[in-house]
Structure 1
Amino acid sequence: MNWQQLIEDRNRFFWFLHIGGWIGFAFVHFLGSLLHDLRDVFVWVILFRAYAGALISLPLRYIYQKAWNLSPLKIALVVIVSSYAAALVWQVVNNITFWEIYKYGYRPDFWLLYTQYSVWSFYIMLAWSGLYFGIKYYQMLQQERQKVLKANNIANQAQLKMLRYQLNPHFLFNTLNAISTLILIDENKNANAMVTKLSEFLRYSLDKDPMKKVTVAQELAALQLYLDIEKVRFEEKLQLKFEIQNNCQKALLPSMILQPLAENAIKYAIAAREEGGTISVKVSRFANDLQLEISDNGPGAEIVNGNLYREKGVGLANTRERLATLYRDYSLVVSDNVPSGVKVNIRIPFQTESE
């Protein structure tokens, strides 16, 4: 059993602290006795005191459990009264033990002397009570914290799924519209090729869990499927260029993170020019970061505060939201490409399946 499991198991954790605390009390008391010239038999007195303290303080746990839902003032009153009552009993036992073992059956002249030094015992019991309530409140706060984290995690998962599945209808509409156009102009061969590629792409999209990351190799394969669909539509007007570092093939990234960026490039750079253009995809590693870049050589666009003025769809905004949900440290920068076009750079932590 690890420490986390021990802390989460309240009953086991209580016994661990209760027994460990009284063992510690005996050890500290023993070290203190070394400062005085006491006989060896005093060790038995120390052991009996710790043992009696462990037994007498134990009922306090059940008293405090009953009083847990009372008002703070009543709880404080219960703690003081219970601690003093337990301390009084403990001190009487301590005195009797000390007199019987260390002083060989000594008896005091007045019965109230049996309770002498009970204030010192009261402080010990009060400290035990304070630790009990402090640890119990800490456990409650940890449980509430776990509930909040779990609720936030569920909310993030729901948001991620919404953002991810938002892409499919958006992309599907554009592709079906292109297929419809090809059919209308009797380009049945091209339309059939697009339908085939579309089915492969959608199968990949549905097979991949939106909550799980994929490798760069898998993401590029999905991107290639999408671009193959567009190649049927644009033919030679669409040129592709890939630069992928070998050490990045197994790096992890969110699934379908590149497709909406490529779709933007096709819509505003390739389709907007009669001669078409080139889409470049670069993946590299820099220190502990994975760098992704998609650029085009189209007519460009007005960039204001890192956002495209032309961007009115879900592509770029969707990508930003997904990255913000998945990573604490990331960047998405939109800039002008040289000599023309737009460039989108994404930086995320470099992770692999083994990490």
Structure 2
Amino acid sequence: MGLDQPFFDDKNRAFWILQSIGWSGYFFLRSLSGFANSMGWMWIVHTLLLTATGYSLTLLMASLFRRLIRMRPVLTLILSLSAVLLASSAFSIIETWSYATFIKPDSKPAGVEYMGAILLNFSLLAAWAALYYGINYFLLLEEQIDQREKLEGQASSAQLAMLRYQLNPHFLFNTLNSISTLVLLKQTERANAMLARLSSFLRYTLANEPTAKVTLAQEVETLKLYLEIEKMRFEDRLRPHFRIEAETIGARLPSLLLQPLIENAIKYAVTPSETGADIWITAKREGQAVRIEVADDGTGQASEIAASPSTGVGLANIRDRLSQAYGAAHRFDSKQNDKGGFSVIIEIPFETGEQAR
């Protein structure tokens, strides 16, 4: 295993390492204490037996605790203390017998005398149990936190996908309706051309995940594909203008974020006017942010457009998508512009490919 791998990634391996280190430390310290008190070499045999006993008892306790840890806390506490008390009694009996056998062969312990070391052994095994539960409860908590973060991420992705997909059918309905009209009018060449462009647009957009971010350059290319379709419907009445600063083309933003705004401008500025309307898509860098504006010179009042139920759904979806992607680190405004038309202004953090991952 690499040094960069978390120690508790393999819980079984971590347990055996800690178990071995802990009881090796116990053996070393008790042996050192015995030699310091001139207990002789038989103290090593005695300490080795105690170490093996403690090692074995704690393995049995670990097997039991793995089942107890998922019970109700009160039940876990009662049963764990009972197990520690029982193990401490067994440990004390073995320690007393070993001491009488290897260190003081003349002593003959009997009855309750075998419980002479129970206090020390209970403290030792209780500390081991507390450490076991402390580590495992911590790992369970981390596991639950990771699971919650994963579920929250999945929920956020699902919501973003839902918002993206909610925007697409409106455009598809309008386009297919236009194709149907062209077929009814027997304008088959225009219908075929429009269908081919729709196919290109869908192929381009479906290549991106609904929750993915694309560069502004990619988003502009998508808008141009969309506008080619709409130009077949409105011809010279639809006059789009792109003013994209060069330093913003690598900025990342949620895919298909701007298409509903263009669709909104077409619906409320181009469609009602016999002469059509101009639509401006501008993007410029402002410090650590990118300011994107979609504006038209239609005759509709901004307040009336914003209050429209159809527009409200589109604008609300875009606002929700921005909130999901950037939290409070964005700006979304709509207003009547100085050309008498409607403007939507978006400001998002400037992110490149490295930052947006």
C-alpha contact (below 8 Å) 1:67/1:75 kept by paired residues: yes
After superposition, the CA RMSD in angstroms is 4.0
Long gaps (5+) in structure 2: none
SS at match of 1:295: strand
C-alpha contact (below 8 Å) 1:241/1:278 kept by paired residues: yes
Query: For the residues of structure 2 that align with 1:346 and 1:162, how far apart are their CA atoms?
Result: 21
C-alpha contact (below 8 Å) 1:250/1:352 kept by paired residues: yes
- Per-residue CA deviation, residues 212-250 of structure 1 (Å, 9 max, x unaligned), is 332222221111111122223333332222232334333
Query: For the residues of structure 2 that align with 1:73 and 1:183, how far apart are their CA atoms?
Result: 75
Quick one: which amino acid aligns to residue 310 of structure 1? S
C-alpha contact (below 8 Å) 1:302/1:310 kept by paired residues: no
Matched, 1:123 2:123: yes
- Per-residue CA deviation, residues 87-137 of structure 1 (Å, 9 max, x unaligned), is 344456667888999xx6586575566644532331221122123233333
- Alignment correspondent of 2:307: 309
Return 60-69 or 126-135, whichever deviates more. 60-69
C-alpha contact (below 8 Å) 2:251/2:351 kept by paired residues: yes
- Alignment correspondent of 2:137: 137
- Alignment correspondent of 2:231: 231
TM-score, scaled to structure 1:
0.77
Q: Note closer, same or farther for the CA distance 1:83–1:227 as it changes in structure 2 (3 Å cut).
A: same
Long gaps (5+) in structure 1: none
Q: How does 1:1-355 map to 2 (within 5 A)?
A: 1=1, 6-22=7-23, 48=48, 53-68=54-69, 72-91=73-92, 115-181=115-181, 190-303=190-303, 308-313=306-311, 314-336=313-335, 337-354=337-354, 355=357
Q: Note closer, same or farther for the CA distance 1:233–1:17 as it changes in structure 2 (3 Å cut).
A: same
Query: For the residues of structure 2 that align with 1:44 and 1:251, how far apart are their CA atoms?
Result: 71
Q: Note closer, same or farther for the CA distance 1:125–1:276 as it changes in structure 2 (3 Å cut).
A: same
TM-score, scaled to structure 2:
0.77
Q: Note closer, same or farther for the CA distance 1:84–1:320 as it changes in structure 2 (3 Å cut).
A: same
C-alpha contact (below 8 Å) 1:190/1:233 kept by paired residues: no
Query: For the residues of structure 1 that align with 2:321 and 2:25, how far apart are their CA atoms?
Result: 52
Query: For the residues of structure 2 that align with 1:260 and 1:136, how far apart are their CA atoms?
Result: 51
Query: For the residues of structure 2 that align with 1:153 and 1:159, how far apart are their CA atoms?
Result: 10
C-alpha contact (below 8 Å) 1:91/1:121 kept by paired residues: yes
Q: Note closer, same or farther for the CA distance 1:69–1:155 as it changes in structure 2 (3 Å cut).
A: closer
Query: For the residues of structure 2 that align with 1:126 and 1:132, how far apart are their CA atoms?
Result: 10
SS at match of 2:310: coil
SS at match of 1:211: coil
Structure 1 position 259, deviation (Å): 0.6
C-alpha contact (below 8 Å) 1:269/1:297 kept by paired residues: yes
Q: Note closer, same or farther for the CA distance 1:239–1:25 as it changes in structure 2 (3 Å cut).
A: farther
- Per-residue CA deviation, residues 284-329 of structure 1 (Å, 9 max, x unaligned), is 444544443222222353449xx92125244222222333344434
Query: For the residues of structure 1 that align with 2:21 and 2:303, how far apart are their CA atoms?
Result: 65
SS at match of 1:308: helix
Quick one: which amino acid aligns to residue 82 of structure 2? V
Query: For the residues of structure 2 that align with 1:221 and 1:20, how far apart are their CA atoms?
Result: 62
C-alpha contact (below 8 Å) 2:251/2:350 kept by paired residues: yes
Quick one: which amino acid aligns to residue 8 of structure 2? I
Query: For the residues of structure 2 that align with 1:170 and 1:233, how far apart are their CA atoms?
Result: 16
Structure 1 position 211, deviation (Å): 3.5
SS at match of 1:312: helix
Quick one: which amino acid aligns to residue 54 of structure 1? Y
Return 239-248 or 146-155, whichever deviates more. 146-155
Query: For the residues of structure 2 that align with 1:233 and 1:340, how far apart are their CA atoms?
Result: 24
Quick one: which amino acid aligns to residue 312 of structure 1? S
